Chains A and B, each alone.
Chain A
């Protein structure tokens, strides 16, 4: 059964770059035509899609975050990564990685989420 696991620093200083990795296990990563995405949830607030990457490398970013986001994939490690630059306290959130088969299909597999706090 496919499993996703987020990892990365739980504390990031303001103005620095947040870096997270999602490790994919229990299934084929590089040969499957899926979209892999990052979704976050600030404390007490709703879900916000950050960006996604197709297995071929095409990327899609939330317009409100596009200037600060980079998503990449490393098929040799069965991982994909998120970098969010120039973070502020507003970027404090639980960050989830997830998978969907098509743009119109649901995010059907999620990681457990990792909490990132932006603070000096």
Chain B
């Protein structure tokens, strides 16, 4: 089955840029979605279809996807961005939805 690989943790100072990667075999050919999950809450979409941003999500959140890596970029990181982030795709070969293992973003 298809596997998405994320780093377990990323740390960044306030005001700097955080990049969270999501690796998968030819993931660039798939549509990648990113979710933010704060403790005790359900996940929320922050980026969909690789780089689109839902209404209400700050422009500081952006996404890209090419080759074997998709990336979620958070610019001018704020303390409120501290959360777990998950990438997700649809795998047509197995007819199933796949989540990455998640990345804990820590704001120093």
Contacts and interface: CB of A to CB of B under 8 A. Distances in A.
Interface of A: 37, 39, 46-49, 52, 60-64, 96, 103-108, 110-113
A94 B91 CA distance: 24
A52 B30 CA distance: 19
Contact of A96 (B33, B42, B48): B42
Interface in B78-96: 84, 86, 88, 90, 92, 94-96
Contacts, number: 65
Contacts of B48: 105-106, 108
A104 B90 contact: yes
B23 interface: no
A47 B87 CA distance: 10
A60 B96 contact: yes
Contacts of B97: 37, 49, 52, 60, 103, 107
B96 A47 contact: no
A90 B48 CA distance: 31
A33 to B, nearest CB: 16
Contact of A47 (B31, B94, B95, B102): B102
A103 B92 contact: yes
A47 B86 contact: yes
B99 A46 contact: yes
**Which of B44, B86, B94, B99 has the largest count of A CB atoms less than 10 A from its CB?**
B99
Nearest to A47: B99
**Which of A46, A60, A96 has the largest count of B CB atoms less than 10 A from its CB?**
A46
Contact of A104 (B31, B45, B86, B95): B31
A12 B101 CA distance: 26
A112 B91 CA distance: 26
Nearest to B94: A63
A106 B45 contact: yes
B43 A47 contact: yes
21 contacts: A37-B97, A39-B99, A46-B102, A47-B37, A47-B88, A47-B99, A49-B98, A49-B99, A52-B97, A63-B1, A64-B1, A103-B90, A104-B30, A104-B31, A105-B48, A107-B33, A107-B35, A107-B43, A107-B97, A108-B54, A110-B44
